[in-house]
Chain A
Amino acid sequence: MSKQNAINEISGIQAYHKFNISKKNTFEMPSRVLLVDDEKEFVLTLSERLQMRDMATAVVYNGKSALDLIHNDAPEVMIIDLKMPGIDGMEVLKKVKQTQPEIKVIVLTGHGSEQDKQKCMDLGAFAYMQKPIDINRLSETLKKAHENITADE
């Protein structure tokens, strides 16, 4: 195990990883996606499925690890849950938009409050989506986020 991998394992961070099987052109999708959710089985399975769709993903299980990671290794897009122990998703969104506004943040939550949705959009979320999610809808949203970044550049 490399030193960086060992550090990642200890801190609960999975480095950006891509094992692609699909043969389609990858330029239309974000190259680096960070997933933040304390539901480990959910986030790891989703990450595996996004990797199959030509995206390099990294996974963290709490808000603090997410903020630590983006400070050194910023993703193009983040997919975050709202309800997490410690620093919650709303707080992460707020901090990301203050420090690295170029990162597109997709909120993916099981919490269905309209007030939360409005708050997240006001804070600058790119999209607010509900669990369970259809992978094609999520992929489409990730594609739009990537297009948005490309247009900004």
Chain B
Amino acid sequence: MVKDENVLTNEGMRFFGRMSATATHEIKNTLAIINESAGLLKDLSIMAEKGSPLPPARINDISRMLTRQVKRADLILKKLNRFSHSVDLSTEVADLEKTVSFVLDLASPLIEKQETAVKITAPVSPMMVTTNLFYLENMIWRAVETACCAAKEKKQVIISFGTDLTAPSIWFSMDTGKNTLMDDLFGSKEDRALMTYLDISIEKNKKNNGFGFLWPKCI
């Protein structure tokens, strides 16, 4: 049991570190653009002192670029702040679709790097589970990463939800090409610890081109 807890804690820290590193990397990029824009304004002012006319359209472009990057950095920080608060409660009621959307947004630079389009098909009604939000986000990310790696032909992953609101489920399907999904999918000790903690089981879909996470039926 203690061993499982250690596996879970280590996996949680790895996930937190990876998402934080991704967000801070993005913030560094926005700062780099702000830095270059400020530097360009300085260059233009030095040139103006030497007699070159200031180009108003260029100044306007730079101003808009600065505003855009400040907004971008603010959005990244909001995401990071929301993510940091995922650890506040040990259990809470989570909306599965909203949680999946948030994880995709948080990890968007990592997903873009894989050049895979990830799309969500919304459930007919909100699908709620009582769970630990942070580890749910962690498990969803592991699933998205696995699905992106398995998407071979058409680099696309579709995330959908089951129809039985009393037995929540999330499904990930992709074009696996000639490859079929491995039997030991989510067989690592980290996956097993997460699934046990979150009380979810895994099933392959009927076409063998995807998998689902299933929660026990609530009576």
Contacts and interface: CB of A to CB of B under 8 A. Distances in A.
B33 interface: yes
Interface string B9-34: 00000000000010001101101111
Interface stretch (B108-116, B136-144, B184-192): B108-116
A49 B109 contact: no
B115 A131 contact: no
Residue from B36, B65, B115 having most chain A Cβ neighbours under 10 A: B36
Interface size class of B (residues with CB under 8 A): 20 to 34
A97 interface: no
Majority secondary structure, A binding face: loop
Contacts of B69: 41
A131 B39 contact: no
Interface centre among B29, B65, B112, B115 (most CB of A within 10 A): B29
Contacts of A135: 39
Nearest to A88: B113
Given A41-B68, A83-B25, A85-B115, 10 more contacts: A41-B65, A45-B33, A45-B39, A48-B40, A49-B43, A85-B112, A110-B29, A130-B28, A132-B31, A133-B35
28 contacts: A21-B47, A21-B52, A39-B29, A39-B33, A41-B65, A41-B68, A42-B29, A42-B33, A45-B33, A45-B39, A45-B40, A49-B43, A83-B25, A83-B109, A85-B112, A85-B113, A85-B114, A110-B26, A110-B29, A111-B25, A112-B28, A130-B28, A131-B29, A131-B35, A132-B28, A133-B32, A133-B35, A135-B39
